[in-house]
Structure 1
Amino acid sequence: MEKKIKIIILLLVILVVVGVATHLFLSPSTVESKGSKNVTDMINRSVEIPASVSNVVATSPPMTTVLYMIAPDKLKAVNFQWTDDELKYVPNQYHNYPVVGGWYGSQDGSYEEFIASEPDIVIESIDEGGDGDLSTVKERQDKFGKIPVVAVNDTTNVEKIGESITFMGEVVGAQDKAKELNDFNNKYLNMVHDKSSKLSDSNKKTVYYAQGDDGLQTNPSHSTHGQLIDLVGGKNVADSVSQGNTTTGVQVSMEQVISWNPGKIITSDPEFYSHVYNDSNWGKINAVKNKEVYLSPQSPFKWFDRPVGANMIIGVPWTAKVLYPDDYKDINMKDATKEFYSNFYHIDLSDDEAKQILLDSGLKESNL
């Protein structure tokens, strides 16, 4: 009997030892949760980051927008506060992101607040080929200390955004969602590239992009802020103003706009849109006479610009429908809106809600 007891005790000891050894040395979850990996960022720096990234922040709105689209549960802070109207299209669980500022137009980033959000990594936007990129990234890394800073190419050009979206998906472990976003973008880019390439100059619609509550700031052709006009084959009437100015707006006069007499007007300013049809000066312009003024949908991000980035992906088919509704009857804008909001803004719209967003932008019901 005593011998049997000793054997049982010995077996139990062996099982315990084997179990502990397995947990300590063979468990893949231990390696994954504690480990790290090296990535080569988009400025050719080798950066050591956690093997599994759970918390991430970005230093500029375009990068934050991509992160919100592909990995909202891993995003830990935003660069600016959403308005109440914008929050109507943001799920409740994402309403209370801390606002940490950033380094872009406003240059109001707070290193302390960034660090307080406890990110695993920080995403820093760079201009492809920019001379100051490496020094800026080094400065960020110095200030953030042990928190890895990963440099990603600028995402403000909707035609070149794909590589950066793919890279960010790989870094944060959201490859499938990144591919889904690129697939959506490429679908409509291919469509507008095909149709716009067949437009003769004489058939191109003339367009004015009205900024500010008086509508008298604009951006010329080849501007990042007016890029969707160029993309879908519109003729920007301000293309002779300050060529090469691709970031800041240009002040123009009412007389200039009247002389250009655009056939279409696009704006991102609700205040301007609310009074343009009642203004006698603007009433002299064909776009106003013919009810061809359009307001970019606003929430949770503007579709046309501000920020310029992945939020403009849904603006590609919208701008195509604004300028050439007869050429894009194969685009069901209501379905495209519902798909984009569900997959990338993480909120499901009813048919009526999607329809109202589009009607409020000035699109005619027959063109949805």
Structure 2
Amino acid sequence: MEKKSKIIILILAILIVIGISTHLFLTPSTVENSGAKNVTDMLGRNIEIPQSLNKVVATSPPMTTVVYMLAPEKLTALNFQWTDSEKVYVPSKYHGLPNIGGWYGTQDGSYEEFIASEPDIVIESIDESGDGNLSTVNERQSKFGKIPVVAVRDTTHVEKVDESILFIGEVIGAKGNAQKLVDFNDKYLDEVHKKSAQLSDKDKKTVYYAEGNDGLKTNPSGSVHGQLIDLVGGKNVANSSSQGNTSSGVQVSIEQVIKWNPDIIITTDPDFYAKVYNDSSWSSINAVKNHEVYLSPQSPFKWFDRPVGANIIIGVPWTAKVIYPDKYTDIDMVSVTKEFYSNFYHYDLSDEQAKEILLGSGLKETNL
């Protein structure tokens, strides 16, 4: 009997050991138990971030825009201030997000204000060259202390943005929305790649990108700011070989624009658009004579430029319809606009609202 009892005790002891081992095997690591996980950012840095992120800030508008598009409820601050016209297409619960600046063109970021917004992580934009990226990110990390800084490759090129969108979606817990945005982007990139490749040089329309309220600043071909013209097969009259490929833009004279005599003019400046048809100095230009001047939709983010980022994804089909409406009759811009705003700007447009945005950009109703 005593032998039998010992066997039973031994069996129970073995079962207890197995149970403890199984529990330890199935229980997440201590990092995950503490509510954290490790990620490798786009500089190859291994960083510990919270398992569940609820507050996110970014140091530049393009990155902030991606976070807003994927998970606006997690965005705790902006690098800019919404204008009244932009707020029309922004759900009211996001109107009060504070502007804490950032480190990009304006270099007006405040570490104190960033930290005061109590983010779980800070997303820092890095450029493709790699020059200075690591030192900049390390400086940010030292200033932010225990708040993890995650480096993400810049999202300024619409043809290269997918990887960064998917990475941000993975990090902030918005994989589904990230994939949906990438699928939308790829759909129209594939279409314009196919159709622009079929254009002969003589079939390409000439386009001038008018910047500033006088329209006399531009960005040449090859510039990130005019990338949608190149992408859809338009011929930018400001050729980069003669104007210089600069991201800051170049000044030109009205005499030069008249000499170029573009078929199409695209602008992001409402003041210029409002007066160009009544300005005699522009009246001899084909684009003006033929009523082919177009204003990028503005709200809540511009579709064509400034900033260049995920917001210009919807600018791909829009620019295609602007320059080659007869080649893109299969694109219903009313439906496309409603889909994009609902899924990524979190604002449901009516048909009439979508038409108002598109007609306000200069598109003809027959080309919507």
**TM-score, normalising length from structure 2?**
0.91
33-42 or 197-206, which deviates more: 33-42
Q: 1:244 to 1:130 in 2, by over 3 A?
A: farther
Maintained 8 Å contact 1:35/1:50: yes
8 Å CA contact retained: 1:33, 1:51: no
* 2:247 equivalent to 1:276: no
Q: Deviations over 1:127-186 (max 9, x none)?
A: 023211000000100110110000000100000000000000000000000000000000
Q: Secondary structure at the match of 1:150?
A: strand
Provide the rounded CA distance (Å) in 2 between the counterparts of 1:94 and 1:71.
12
Match of 2:21 in 1: none
Q: Residue 153 of structure 2 corresponds to which residue in structure 1?
A: 153
1:1-28 deviations in whole A, cap 9, x for unaligned?
xxxxxxxxxxxxxxxxxxxxxxxxx998
Are the counterparts in 2 of residues 60 and 124 from structure 1 also a CA contact under 8 Å?
Answer: yes
What residue number does 2:365 align with?
365
**Post-superposition offset of 1:35:** 1.6
Aligned pairs for 1:200-349 (under 5 A) are 200-239=200-239, 240-245=241-246, 247-349=247-349
Name the residue aligned to 1:15.
none
1:54-133 matches, cutoff 5 A: 54-133=54-133
CA contact under 8 A between 1:76 and 1:119: conserved in structure 2?
A: yes
CA distance in 2, matches of 1:293, 1:135: 44
Distance in 2 (alpha carbons) for counterparts of 1:333 and 1:120: 38
Matches within 5 A, 1:160-199: 160-199=160-199
Distance 1:213 1:47 in 2: 45
Matched position secondary structure for 2:266: strand
AA aligned opposite 1:126: I
Cα shift readout 1:183-219 (whole Å, capped 9, x = no counterpart)? 0000000000000011111110100000000000000
Quick one: structure 1 residues 116 and 364, their matched pair in 2 at CA, closer, same or farther if it must change by over 3 Å? same
Maintained 8 Å contact 1:283/1:289: yes
Q: Shift of residue 52 of structure 1?
A: 1.1
**Mapped partners of 1:149, 1:329: distance in 2:** 45
Whether contact under 8 Å (1:56, 1:119) holds in the other structure is yes
The whole-number CA distance in structure 1 between the counterparts of 2:129 and 2:359 is 41
Residues 276 and 282, structure 1, Cα contact 8 Å, conserved in 2: yes
Q: Distance in 1 between matches of 2:313 and 2:174?
A: 18
- Residue type of the alignment partner of 1:124: E
Offset from partner CA, 1:80-106 (integer Å, 9 cap, x none): 001000000000111011110000000
**Whole-Å separation in 2 of the counterparts to 1:343 and 1:295:** 23
Distance 1:145 1:244 in 2: 38
Deviation of the 1:32 alpha carbon: 6.0
For residue 54 of structure 1, report the CA deviation from its aligned partner: 1.1
Give matches, 1:11-50, under 5 Å. 34-50=34-50
- In the other structure, the counterpart of 2:351 is 351
- Give a deviation string over 1:39-80, Cα, whole Å, max 9, x none: 110011111101111110000000000000001000100000
- State the 1:243 CA deviation: 2.5
* 3-state SS, counterpart of residue 102 of structure 2: coil
Structure 2 Cα separation of the partners of residues 301 and 244 of structure 1: 25
Structure-1 separation of matches of 2:210 and 2:322: 15
CA contact (8 A) 1:211 1:269 kept: yes
Superimposed CA distance per residue, residues 307-344 of structure 1 (whole angstroms, 9 cap, x where no aligned partner) = 00000000000000000000000000000000000000
2:300 counterpart letter in structure 1: P
SS of the equivalent of 2:66 reads helix
- Once the two structures are TM-superposed, the CA of residue 261 in structure 1 deviates from its matched residue by 0.2
Q: Secondary structure at the match of 1:123?
A: strand
Task: State how far apart, in whole Å, the 2-side matches of 1:244 and 1:302 are.
Answer: 22
Please name the residue that 2:14 is paired with: none
Task: Tell me the distance in 2 between the aligned counterparts of 1:123 and 1:346.
Answer: 22
Q: What percentage of residue pairs aligned between the two structures are identical?
A: 73
Amino acid at match of 2:93: Q
Alignment partners' CA distance in 1, 2:249 and 2:349: 34
Q: For residues 261-320 of structure 1, what are the alpha-carbon distances to aligned partners after superposition, in whole Å with 9 as ceiling and x for unaligned? A: 000000000000000000011001000000000000000000001100000000000000
Query: In structure 1, what is the Cα distance between the partners aligned to 2:271 and 2:199?
Result: 33
The answer on whether the counterparts of 2:158 and 2:309 sit within 8 Å (CA) in structure 1 is yes
The AA in structure 1 aligned to 2:344 is: F
SS of structure 1 residue aligned to 2:224: coil
Aligned residues: 341
Could you tell me which amino acid in structure 2 is paired with residue 50 of structure 1? P
Query: Matched residues in 2 for 1:31 and 1:97: separation?
Result: 32
